[in-house]
């Protein structure tokens, strides 16, 4: 066996993605806060001329937080943790290093192009797949590069068994690849019409109801394979590592994995209940959404039980706090989702603010918390300095938790109010409210939501400041911490 004395894990690519996660997190949440405020105070629509209206900015918000913040976070943690669970360094292969850097470079180009085209209104209008065809092609190249880097790392691994996190990363890669390709099948009109009009425009290969089916098959599973699968991969690595406790039941984690893979895809059509999609598909979507509680809770409970007998860490270590709350919010939103997918509930909930409310207890409480905790955990190891301030993390935790609670409670009330008012009839069976009545009544809830956005954004700024200070001016560490991250 050769000597590995000089060999170290190489975190250069993980660092790059950490920077973009912080940058895009800030941009995405800033836009999110602005558009939340616009709903309460419409004058805010005119800050940037035609580029500042709610409608133009809303897709920018979703895309920047999904593809900017979340994917950066996913890849930062991937390039960090994959090396470690496979016990192989990226520095061992020039090819893998090149792939990693190329992956990042192209990603940055695509992300900037995405922001610009969406601001200009160049969009396919399919939610979470708004990028036009030239960007789609770049995205495919980025995705393939990531796949190559991942399988190349796996190819030279020393640890023969793939840790459960790697299972989830592989599933993320495969799932998104398949769904994204199918959903973005489109024909560029410039080339199909003999050179008339704009080069950027394209039409979808699918029309009407079919397009809706393919889109929500994607839209729902973008949530599955970007917001759930890789985040579960993170928590399976970072919670045990930070707490020093092995996963409570490894077998349960394997089973929940297969359960999640099997069930998740079926649930896509629950976005189309009561639409013109065939009934049996709506019913399938509904049923499988409810079944989906099982594998989701399997993972979440497994995480909570990992802390069994070690709950004192919850008070001592703020990162554990973040991760435990993240799994709790994961349980909440995976219970809430199936409830909304029940047809009779959906009849009231669909099209209302309850839906963004549901999305945000997932993405703020689960995704963002988990990514921030993971990046905090990685920082002392990547930059060889202790975390700048424990107090700041504590303050950030409470601020952001308050923000999430304010967000989903206000949107629950807003959504149900709106849903009930739309269908309210008087004693003669006539509609009781005109549409605008159901809008003006929501003003206080929109204002609360805007406030919660400001709180969460402030918390994120504290996170960013803490990270930057950690990188630059915190106390240096002599050797790598084994479990809990050192912080001042």
Partner 1 sequence: MFHWLEKNPFFFSVGVFLVIAFAGLIEILPNFAEASRPVVGLKPYSVLELAGKNIYMKDQCIACHSQLIRPFKAETDRYGQYSLSGEYAYDRPFLWGSKRTGPDLHRVGNYRTTDWHENHMWEPTSVVPGSIMPAYKHMFTNVADIATAYAEAVTVKNIFKTPYGDEIQPGVEAFEAHKPAILAEAQKIAAGMKNQDVKDAVKAGNVPEIVALIAYLNRLK
Partner 2 sequence: MEIRELQGYASFFMTIFLVVMLYWYIVYLYRSEKKGEKDYEKLGNIALDDEIDSPPINTSDPLPSENKEQNK
Residues 416-435 that bind partner 1 (CB under 8 A): 422-425, 430-431, 435
Helix (H) or strand (E) run with residue 187 in it: strand 186-188
Render 205-265 in DSSP notation, one character per residue.
SS-HHHHHHHHHHHHHHHIIIIIIHHHHHHHHHHHHHHHT---S-HHHHHHHHHHHHHHHG
Residue 404 contact, options partner 2, partner 1, none, Cβ 5-8 Å cut-off depending on partner type: none
Q: Is residue 162 involved in binding partner 1 (CB under 8 A)?
A: yes
Q: Minimum distance between the CB of residue 19 and partner 1, rounded to whole angstroms?
A: 30
Nearest to 376 by CA among 417, 323, 303: 323
Residue 425 β-bridge partners: 431
Contact 133, 190 (CB under 8 A): no
Of 278-317, binders to partner 1 (CB under 8 A) are 278, 281, 284
Backbone angles phi, psi at 419, to 5 degrees: -60, -40
Give the contact letters, 220-259, x = binds to partner 1 (CB under 8 A), - = no.
--------------------------------------x-
Q: Is residue 258 involved in binding partner 2 (CB under 8 A)?
A: yes
Of 7-26, binders to partner 2 (CB under 8 A) are 7-9
Backbone angles phi, psi at 68, to 5 degrees: -85, -65
Q: Which stretch binds partner 1 (CB under 8 A): 198-206, 312-320, 364-372, 477-485?
A: 198-206
Of 136-165, binders to partner 2 (CB under 8 A) are 158-161, 163-165
Rg (CA), the chain: 23
As given in the structure block, the two tokens for residue 35 are 């558009």
Residue 251 contact, options partner 1, partner 2, none, Cβ 5-8 Å cut-off depending on partner type: partner 2
Q: Which residue in the set 249, 283, 417, 438 belongs to the binding site for partner 2 (CB under 8 A)?
A: 249
Of 209-248, binders to partner 2 (CB under 8 A) are 236-237, 240-241, 244, 246-247
Q: Which residue in the set 19, 54, 297, 465 belongs to the binding site for partner 1 (CB under 8 A)?
A: 54
Q: CA-to-CA distance for 124 and 131, rounded, in angstroms?
A: 6
Q: Is residue 481 involved in binding partner 2 (CB under 8 A)?
A: no
Q: What is the DSSP letter of 92?
A: G
Helix (H) or strand (E) run with residue 450 in it: helix 443-472
Q: Which residue in the set 269, 400, 466, 470 belongs to the binding site for partner 1 (CB under 8 A)?
A: 269
Of 77-106, binders to partner 2 (CB under 8 A) are 83-85, 87-89
Q: CA-to-CA distance for 72 and 372, rounded, in angstroms?
A: 11
Q: Is residue 483 involved in binding partner 2 (CB under 8 A)?
A: yes
Query: Is 106 or 174 the residue whose CB approaches partner 2 more closely?
Result: 174
Q: Minimum distance between the CB of residue 367 and partner 2, rounded to whole angstroms?
A: 20
Query: Is 355 or 464 the residue whose CB approaches partner 1 more closely?
Result: 355
Q: CA-to-CA distance for 102 and 82, rounded, in angstroms?
A: 18
Residues contacting partner 1: total by CB under 8 A: 90
Q: Is residue 203 involved in binding partner 1 (CB under 8 A)?
A: yes
Q: Is residue 56 involved in binding partner 1 (CB under 8 A)?
A: yes
- Residue whose token pair is 């409608």: 55
Q: Is residue 140 involved in binding partner 1 (CB under 8 A)?
A: no
Q: Where are the alpha helices (DSSP H) in 265-317?
A: 279-291, 293-306, 312-316
Q: Is residue 214 involved in binding partner 1 (CB under 8 A)?
A: yes
- 3-class SS letters over 77-104: HHHHHHHHHHCCCHHHCHHHHHHHHHHH
Residues contacting partner 2: total by CB under 8 A: 36
Helix (H) or strand (E) run with residue 342 in it: none
Query: Is 2 or 125 the residue whose CB approaches partner 2 more closely?
Result: 2
Contact 355, 340 (CB under 8 A): yes
List interacting residues with partner 2 (CB under 8 A): 4-5, 7-9, 83-85, 87-89, 158-161, 163-165, 236-237, 240-241, 244, 246-247, 249-251, 254-255, 258-259, 262, 280, 284, 483
């Amino acid at each position: 066996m050769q000597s590995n004395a000089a060999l170290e894990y190489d975190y250069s690519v993980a660092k790059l993605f950490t920077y973009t996660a912080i940058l895009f997190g800030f941009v995405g949440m800033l836009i999110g806060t602005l558009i939340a405020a616009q709903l309460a105070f419409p004058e805010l629509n005119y800050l940037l001329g035609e580029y500042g209206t709610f409608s133009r900015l809303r897709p920018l918000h979703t895309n920047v937080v999904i593809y900017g913040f979340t994917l950066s976070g996913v890849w930062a943690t991937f390039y960090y943790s994959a090396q470690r669970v496979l016990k192989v360094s990226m520095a061992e292969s020039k090819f893998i290093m090149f792939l990693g850097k190329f992956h990042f470079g192209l990603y940055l180009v695509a992300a900037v192009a995405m922001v610009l085209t969406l601001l200009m209104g160049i969009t396919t209008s399919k939610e979470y797949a708004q990028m036009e065809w030239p960007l789609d092609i770049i995205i495919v190249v980025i995705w393939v590069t990531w796949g190559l880097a991942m399988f190349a790392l796996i190819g030279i691994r020393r640890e023969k068994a793939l840790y459960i996190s790697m299972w989830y990363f592989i599933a993320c890669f495969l799932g998104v690849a398949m769904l994204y390709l199918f959903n973005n099948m489109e024909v560029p009109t410039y080339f199909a019409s003999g050179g008339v009009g704009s080069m950027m425009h394209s039409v979808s290969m699918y029309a009407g109801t079919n397009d809706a089916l393919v889109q929500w098959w994607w839209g729902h599973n973008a949530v599955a394979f970007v917001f759930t699968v890789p985040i579960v991969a993170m928590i399976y690595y970072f919670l045990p590592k930070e707490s020093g406790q092995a996963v409570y039941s490894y077998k349960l984690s394997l089973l929940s994995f297969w359960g999640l893979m099997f069930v998740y895809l079926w649930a896509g059509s629950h976005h189309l209940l009561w639409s013109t999609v065939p009934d049996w598909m709506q019913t399938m979507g509904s049923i499988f959404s409810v079944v989906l509680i099982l594998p989701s809770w399997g993972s979440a409970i497994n995480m909570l039980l990992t802390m069994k007998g070690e709950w004192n860490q919850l008070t001592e270590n703020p990162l554990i706090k973040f991760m435990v709350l993240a799994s709790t919010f994961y349980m909440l939103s995976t219970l809430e989702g199936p409830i909304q997918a029940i047809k009779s509930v959906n009849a009231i909930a669909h099209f209302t603010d309850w839906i963004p409310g549901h999305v945000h207890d997932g993405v703020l409480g689960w995704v963002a918390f988990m990514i921030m905790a993971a990046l905090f955990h990685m920082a002392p190891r990547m930059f060889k300095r202790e975390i700048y301030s424990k107090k700041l993390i504590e303050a950030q935790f409470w601020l952001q938790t308050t923000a999430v609670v304010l967000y989903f409670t206000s949107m629950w009330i807003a959504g149900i109010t709106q849903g009930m008012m739309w269908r309210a009839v008087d004693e003669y069976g006539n509609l009781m409210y005109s549409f605008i009545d159901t809008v003006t009544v929501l003003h206080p809830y929109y204002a609360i939501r805007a406030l919660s956005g400001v709180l969460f954004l402030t918390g994120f700024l504290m996170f960013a400041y803490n990270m930057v200070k950690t990188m630059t001016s915190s106390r240096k560490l002599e050797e790598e911490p084994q479990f809990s991250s050192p912080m001042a």
